[in-house]
Chains A and B, each alone.
Chain A
Amino acid sequence: MLWVAQRATAVVLALCVLVHLATIIYAVRGGLSAAEILARTRGSTAWATFYVIFVLAVAVHGAIGLRAVAAEWLGFRGEAAEFAMTLVGLALAIMGLRAVVAVFA
């Protein structure tokens, strides 16, 4: 059922990316320092939740997408490929969640 996960996360990402980009453009209009950003983001449960969802969707979607690219373009498939793509997904999730903790905790 990887294709179901791929399509479901695509829907989530379509919304998340829009919100993410719109927020960046809106927030930095007048110039913004790292300290000012952190002052706004720290402790915001709503934004933390949003970015946790965003990160998890990226991890799932990216890993499944790379799995298809690896299979079709590199001929890399089978158990080794499944294992490698699981690692990629986990790595994306860990790196993303670390960033979420750093910005919002």
Chain B
Amino acid sequence: MTALRVRVWRGGRDGRFEAFEVPRLPSQTVLDVVTHIQRHLDPTLSYRFACRVGMCGSCAMTVNGTPRWTCRTHVDKVGADGTLEIAPLANLPVVKDLVSDMREFFDKWARARGQFVPTATRADGFAVVKPDSPPRREADAGIECIGCGVCYAACDVVTWNRDYLGPAALNRAWTLVNDVRDGAQAERLAAVAGDAGCHSCHTLMSCTEHCPKALSPTRAISGLKRATARAAFGWQDEAESL
């Protein structure tokens, strides 16, 4: 059995990498490696995980310089030469070791008006949304986001502009722009326009490249650019989702 040479970030922002040797196992994931270190080598190592199957979005870290969901990232894929460097997600404050402070990430979802605003009451009947209608399809394309923060860590515009809402929050806003039941469309479009919003996107597509769910926040953001432009010029029409 060979050993993996693993360098793991320890401490806060002013921390450093610490080296560990971890046994190499078949079908081993990066999360398995981190768990091995915490259980067998250093119980003070802090990291986050919950579901281990790619649903919860809590285990994202920087692996060999690239943001990834660690529970679904096999060592075979990223550490073929027997070395791994594991750090907390970029573009976010470090709490300790591999734990990033996700507050600003999720606060920006709220700032992008990522909340559904109902227009009906429980006395009303069910809304009928045809599965093949263009807005429903557009929402479907972005709705599987698990909120892992990989896109946010990969985004250069976030690095350059700390106020930028980021790909995940804008993707969320776009799914709601396409929700025909929602009652806060004008407010949401106002919230995602401007310096912190969709028009600051440089279409670098790092978010789309790195999204573990293979979503395209870039597509969502370009949709928001068109929708906000139509709203600004007063061209509100049925072509909202095209």
- Which chain A residues (6-64) contact chain B, with CB distance < 8 Å? 6-7
Chain A residues near B160 (CB-CB < 8 A):
71-73
Shortest beta-carbon distance from B232 to chain A in Å: 5
Q: Does A1 contact B (CB under 8 A)?
A: yes
Chain B residues near A72 (CB-CB < 8 A):
157, 160-161
Q: Does B229 contact A (CB under 8 A)?
A: yes
Chain B residues near A6 (CB-CB < 8 A):
199
Chain A residues bordering chain B, tally (CB within 8 A): 10
The majority secondary structure among interface residues of chain B is helix
Chain B residues near A80 (CB-CB < 8 A):
none
Contact B161 A7 (CB under 8 A): no
When chains A and B are docked, how far (Å) is the Cα of A73 from the Cα of B161?
A: 9
- Which chain B residues (220-234) contact chain A, with CB distance < 8 Å? 229, 232-233
Shortest beta-carbon distance from A18 to chain B in Å: 22
- Which chain B residues (179-225) contact chain A, with CB distance < 8 Å? 193-195, 199-200
Contact B232 A4 (CB under 8 A): yes
Shortest Cβ distance from B229 into A: residue: A7
- Which chain A residues (57-105) contact chain B, with CB distance < 8 Å? 68, 71-73
Shortest beta-carbon distance from A11 to chain B in Å: 11
Question: Contacts A3-B199, A71-B161, A72-B157 given; 15 further ones with Cβ under 8 A?
Answer: A1-B232, A2-B195, A3-B193, A3-B194, A4-B229, A4-B232, A4-B233, A6-B199, A7-B229, A68-B200, A71-B160, A71-B195, A72-B160, A72-B161, A73-B160
A and B contact pairs by CB, cutoff 8 A, 17 listed: A1-B232, A2-B195, A3-B193, A3-B194, A3-B199, A4-B232, A4-B233, A6-B199, A7-B229, A68-B200, A71-B160, A71-B161, A71-B195, A72-B157, A72-B160, A72-B161, A73-B160
B residues with CB within 8 A of A: 157, 160-161, 193-195, 199-200, 229, 232-233
